[in-house]
Amino acid sequence: MLSFQRFVSVFEEHHPKFTYKDIYSYQGTHCILRTNHQAHADWLSVCFQYYYHYCRDHHDILKFPNDDCYSIYSYVDEQTYLRLFEWVEEILLLRVGYFYDDIAEITFSDGGIVVDKRKKMILCFHQTMKQIYFISDGSEQIVQDEIMKAMREVMTWEMEKKGFYLFRASVVEKDGKSILFSGESGAGKTAIMLGLLEKGYHFLANDQVLVGVENRTVKTIAWPSKIGITLATTMQFEQLMGIYADLGSLDFPQNRIHSLALDQLEENEIDRVDLSTKELVMNFQTKFVREAELEQAFLIDDFPAQENFEKMEYSPELIDHLKKLAFFPHLNPEDSGFSPWFHSSKTYSPKVWSTFDLTLKIMANLIPIRRLVKEKLPTIEERVEKIAQHL
């Protein structure tokens, strides 16, 4: 029968050798990537270089406490993948009677396994998530994204245990204080953030950010992700127009651009260009700030026009509003930015749940939270100017 230990034993019969050993650390949590594939090692370095402390082939690796250390293994080899795939298929189809089309997800007493035929990838994880294996044949580039998301999930999970939770928001920083703009997709968070970068603010987060309470203050911490900007928004910023000269040279694959018709760019609110943190700060000649004390927040929604910039008083309704903007717990399996297998397998202690509720209450009490009407003005510059006058 399948089990995590049995999978590892069968895998090790192929005598895998891992050329690269990279350690990523943040706030006492260490995640070790072991891989034989340079492209996977390089990809994680691109994604995390601004967010986690990084070193290669650390000689003190055995000194890391087990409770704070995770291991992710990525092995790329066609023969190894095919043999493991056949072994897993035989167990699933012949012994268990488990039939599937493209993706199989099975949990067992000591972990779980995901077989993805489209990505040509087998993923096996221990029930504690302390060990996660990715076996692939090297033909699908998207596997590197799955490895990146697994490490990010581990780091986020540990931050949740420390009282920091993921919110749907963009954040800028100035003079050590951060300003948060939260709202649903399409509310204009990214455009506001870019407009404030033009006015001398620094970049902290786009679309997702960790928020928690530390030393009696509310703190924002950057969360690693690509910076997605609609094509229409890019056309309102001179700093971004040059990226179209050579989209192929950007750090991230541009998989969300389906049409580059020049006469439609200004109206294209669907397709997005994806920038790395490095590319964003270089284009706007600003800097990246990893964490800062939260000074004030704006909630973007369909509020009445006369309530624009009004301070929201503490109330159960405000708490509910904040809850809806948090990715805790994360329940949407269709969200490509997260790993469904991870969220369906992890558990939270009662303390993590109670800390989340307390964090919302402290945030609503300590931080001025203002309404920001979701409005369409002739230019982003006009909207940002109105916001800047209230900062």
Q: What is the pLDDT of residues 169-198, one digit of tens each?
A: 999 999 999 999 999 888 899 999 999 999
What is the CATH classification number for the domain harbouring 301?
A: 3.40.50
Residue 168's contacts (CB-CB under 8 Å, 6 or more residues apart) are 182, 183, 184, 185, 189, 207, 208, 325, 326, 327
Q: Which of 160, 175, 196 is the last residue of a domain?
A: 160
Out of 68-77, 122-131, 253-262, 319-328, which region has the weakest mean confidence (pLDDT)? 253-262
d(CA 141, CA 318): 42
Q: Are residues 293 and 203 in the same domain?
A: yes
377, pLDDT greater than 70:
no
Residue 65's pLDDT band, with cuts at 50, 70 and 90, is low
Whether the predicted pLDDT of 331 surpasses 80: no
CA angle 184, 175, 322 (to 5 degrees): 25
Distance (Å, whole) CA 271 – CA 244? 13
Residue corresponding to tokens 């026009």: 305
pLDDT confidence of 121, banded at 50, 70, 90? very high
Q: Are 268 and 230 in contact (CB under 8 A)?
A: yes
What gap in Å lies between CA 389 and CA 174, rounded to an integer?
Answer: 15
CB within 8 A of 377, min separation 6: which ones? 383
Residues 194-214 have a mean pLDDT of 96
Same domain, 72 and 170: no
Q: For residue 69, what are its two tokens? A: 């250390």
Does the structure show a pLDDT above 80 at 307?
Answer: yes
Same domain, 181 and 305: yes
Q: Give residue 391's pLDDT band: very low, low, confident or very high (50, 70, 90).
A: confident
pTM for the structure as a whole: 0.93
CA 115 centroid distance within chain? 23
Confidence bin at 66 (pLDDT 50/70/90): low
- The per-residue pLDDT for 120 is 96
Based on the fold, state whether residues 137 and 41 are members of the same structural domain. Answer: yes
**In the predicted structure, residue 128 carries a pLDDT above the cut 90:** yes
> Which domain range does residue 10 map to?
4-160
- For 203, phi and psi rounded to 5 degrees? -85, 130
The pLDDT score that the predictor gives to residue 58 is 59
Q: Which of residues 260 and 219 earns the better pLDDT score?
A: 219
Query: How much is the average pLDDT of 270-279?
Result: 94
Total domains present in the chain: 2
| 382-390 average pLDDT score | 85
Q: Each residue of 30-64: b (16+ CB within 10 Å) or e?
A: bbbbbbbbeebbebbeebbebbbebeeebeeeeeb
The reply to whether 213 falls in a domain is: yes
Pairing of strands 131-136, 69-76: parallel
The answer to the question of residue 200 being in a domain is yes
The mean predicted confidence, pLDDT, of the chain is 91
pLDDT band at 135 (very low <50, low <70, confident <90, very high): very high
Helix axes 380-388, 189-198, angle to 10 degrees: 70
**Same domain, residue pair 41 and 115:** yes
Q: How far is CA 379 from CA 74, 207, 374, in A?
A: 46, 21, 14
pLDDT over 60 at 61, yes or no: no
**Whether pLDDT at 11 is above 80:** yes
- Single residue among 160, 183, 208 that ends a domain in this structure: 160
Indicate whether 60 pLDDT > 60. Answer: no
User: Could you tell me the pLDDT band of residue 227, with boundaries at 50, 70 and 90?
Assistant: very high
Query: Considering 139, 160, 181, which residue would you say is the last residue of a domain?
Result: 160
Q: What percent of the chain has pLDDT over 90?
A: 72
* 152 and 42 fall within a common domain: yes
